[in-house]
Amino acid sequence: MIENLDLSMVNWARATFALTAMYHWIFVPLTLGLSFLCAFFESIYVKTGNQQWKNLTKFWMTLFGINFAIGVATGIILEFEFGTNWSNYSWIVGDIFGAPLAIEGILAFFLEATFFAVMFFGWERVSTRMHLFSTWMVAVGSSLSALWILVANGWMQHPVGMTFNPDSARFEMHNLWEVISSPVAIGHFVHATSSGFLLASLFVVGISSWYLLRNKHKKFALRSITVACVFGLLSSIFVAFSGDEHAFITSTTQPMKLAAMEALYTGSSGAGLVAMGVPNPFKQPGDEQDSFLFKIEIPKILSLLATRDFNGFVPGIDDLLYGNTTHNIMGVDEKIGYGKQAVTALGAYKQAKKDGDTTGATAALEVFDQHRAYLGYGHLLSVEHAVPPVSLTFYAFRVMVSLGTFFILLFVLYLYLLKRGTLERNYPLLLLGVVGMFLGYVAQQAGWIVSEVGRQPWAIQDMLPVTLARSNLDTGTVMTTFFLFLLLFTALLIAELKIMTHQIAIGPEGE
Amino acid sequence: MPLQHVYTFYRDGFRSMVVGKTLWKIIFIKLFIMFAVLKVFFFPNFLATNFSSDAERASHVLTNLTEIQEHSQLGSKQTPH
């Protein structure tokens, strides 16, 4: 069956999933961040009693509502795809994903649905403090729902707290806390949510800057910018630190991803960080070609980031593929050998159970248990298949980091000019603020490309390659759904842009 | 009656919506396309449709998991170290 797998089906299924996830992530980060900004704006209104802050809050809340309404349920399509295109994966992880997604459903539904209604319908119907409480609860609820889905994603990147059951062919959870508190899951959560805060701040700054450029709603824009810049600056600094911590964790849990992020083929002690460079597109693992056509490197910084030691050893792609005895790194070739033993033992166990051979089943299970950690490697076509797309991961990482640095500078500049009272006359910076809003989305997508492309070929790290996670479907079916989604999501995006730009053109009440 | 208050709260809220009316239309159209069209015609659950019991589904997945690809190039490269 497996030798007949149609790889192009896998690629269409990958493309469909990537398309859905990328469109979904246009809406999600803005929801995460704008909900908190609305809570900040409303808190100021409640504290000062100033009606203008109330109007300001209502305006941003309307944009939040538009984004929420257009984006809501787009994530469900990912679940459709699990069942149809990724049925093996869906079956195998059912037990792990069931709990977090159920918790998400309950928490998100009760928190968001209840307080969302109070937030939008309750301005004149509930007390000021009750309304403020509801706004905060919507913000907390949004982040909580993101927690569970990111826990699930974190588990795929670093599967802990589970055991593979050879009878049911499923990973079964034995420790929910271990799944939730996994450093990868926590790292994903804090980095993704704080980047959402950053994006929402850029969004508020961008639209407010546009008003200033058009000489409209000046007081409103300056107030919005002040709060958004403080939140944005704090968020962007937090994003930088959480990203650093995330990369540090990746160096131990997914060293191949880190090597791809740096296009590092040969590991070294005191490894430098490539600040700028062009990876050699013809470079293959194990060959003698240079990894880069051109690069500017900061000495020893990669070692510091990956090992917290200037002279620490950072393994390259070749070390991870072919092993490095000096640094006690087992190569993928050896892992494939163990993986094949695990796969064979699993097959023998299945057959022995079918034949009623208890002794044979016990013996096969013993062999499987010895090699189960390498199960996924038994399905890799070759050693080199363990390498993710290097150039895409490398460039996406640099886009994300460069933009992240740019955003910190942008917020600092805005705050400086706000303090001097000259922001509204600085047209080039205001224009940069508008552009920055769009660049925020680029950074978001680049971050997910690093995370998801960088972990290829694995659907579940070391356990299940993507090629085995899919369903046995023909390419045409999956290709059709790809274009259907392209159509649906593009229509939704156009609707969002149209309604939002109309609302922005109207502007806040009472201005 | 607290339930009546909740009902009135939602009823008045929905009646006073401005942008919300358009958004609800979009939400309903979207949900209809997703659940009545895409889910039904394009996204059947593969294992639920093709197998009648969990045991059969597990067996199918296990079969996939226990077949090793033939074209493995294991050890095709030598360690450079």
What DSSP assignment string belongs to B7-19?
HHHHHHHHHT-SH
Q: Does B77 touch chain A (CB under 8 A)?
A: yes
pLDDT of residue A292: 94
Q: Distance between CA atoms of A119 and A111, rounded to whole angstroms?
A: 12
Q: Does B32 touch chain A (CB under 8 A)?
A: no
A19 neighbors A485 (Cβ within 8 angstroms): yes
Do residue A169 and residue B30 have CB atoms under 8 angstroms apart? no
Do residue A286 and residue B77 have CB atoms under 8 angstroms apart? yes
Q: Does B49 touch chain A (CB under 8 A)?
A: no
- Which B positions 10-29 lie with beta carbon below 8 A of chain A? 10, 12-14, 16, 19-20, 22-24, 26-27
* Termini Cα distance of chain B: 79
What DSSP assignment string belongs to A132-182?
HHHHHHHHHHHHHHHHHHHHHHHHHHS--SEEEETTTTEEEES-HHHHHT-
Do residue B44 and residue A468 have CB atoms under 8 angstroms apart? no
SS3 A462: coil
pLDDT of residue B79: 34
Q: How many CB atoms lie within 10 A of CB A419?
A: 10
Do residue A322 and residue B20 have CB atoms under 8 angstroms apart? no
B15: left (phi over 0), alpha (psi -120 to 50) or beta: alpha
Q: What angle do CA A506, B9, A39 make, to 5 degrees?
A: 55
Do residue B31 and residue A380 have CB atoms under 8 angstroms apart? no
Q: What is the ipTM of this complex?
A: 0.77
B21: left (phi over 0), alpha (psi -120 to 50) or beta: alpha
pLDDT of residue A228: 97
pTM: 0.89
Q: Which residues in chain A have their CB less than 8 angstroms from residue B2's CB?
A: none
- For each successive 10 residues of chain A (511 residues), what is the average pLDDT? 58 90 91 96 96 95 90 79 86 75 70 83 90 94 85 90 89 86 91 96 97 94 97 96 93 95 94 94 91 93 94 95 93 93 91 89 92 92 92 96 97 96 94 97 96 94 90 83 87 87 87 62
Of A2, A168, A321, the CB nearest to B58: A168
Phi, psi of A269, rounded to the nearest 5 degrees: -85, 145
Q: Which residues in chain A have their CB less than 8 angstroms from residue B46's CB?
A: 83-85, 87, 471-473
Rounded (10°) CA dihedral A451, A452, A458, A463: 60
What is the pLDDT confidence band of residue B72, given thresholds at 50, 70 and 90?
very low
- Taking alpha carbons only, the member of A60, A63, A51 closest to residue A27 is A63
pLDDT of residue A413: 97
pLDDT of residue A141: 87
**Domain-by-domain residue ranges, chain B?**
2-65
Lookup result for tokens 């680049």: A446
Q: Does A318 touch chain B (CB under 8 A)?
A: yes
- Taking alpha carbons only, the member of A475, A474, A473, A457 closest to residue A465 is A457
Q: Distance between CA atoms of B59 and B57, rounded to whole angstroms?
A: 5
Do residue A322 and residue B79 have CB atoms under 8 angstroms apart? yes
Q: Distance between CA atoms of A142 and A126, rounded to whole angstroms?
A: 22
Q: Which residues in chain B have their CB less than 8 angstroms from residue A125's CB?
A: 9, 12-13
What is the pLDDT confidence band of residue B26, given thresholds at 50, 70 and 90?
confident
The percent helix, strand, coil of chain B (3-state, each to 5) is 70, 0, 30
**Å from A290 to nearest chain B CA?**
15
Do residue B74 and residue A471 have CB atoms under 8 angstroms apart? no
Residue bearing the bigger pLDDT, A236 or B20? A236
Q: Does A347 touch chain B (CB under 8 A)?
A: yes
Do residue B80 and residue A80 have CB atoms under 8 angstroms apart? no
Do residue A69 and residue B45 have CB atoms under 8 angstroms apart? no
Q: Does A381 touch chain B (CB under 8 A)?
A: yes
Q: Which residues in chain A have their CB less than 8 angstroms from residue B44's CB?
A: 83-84
Residue A237 buriedness (CB in 10 A; 0-12 / 13-18 / 19+): middle
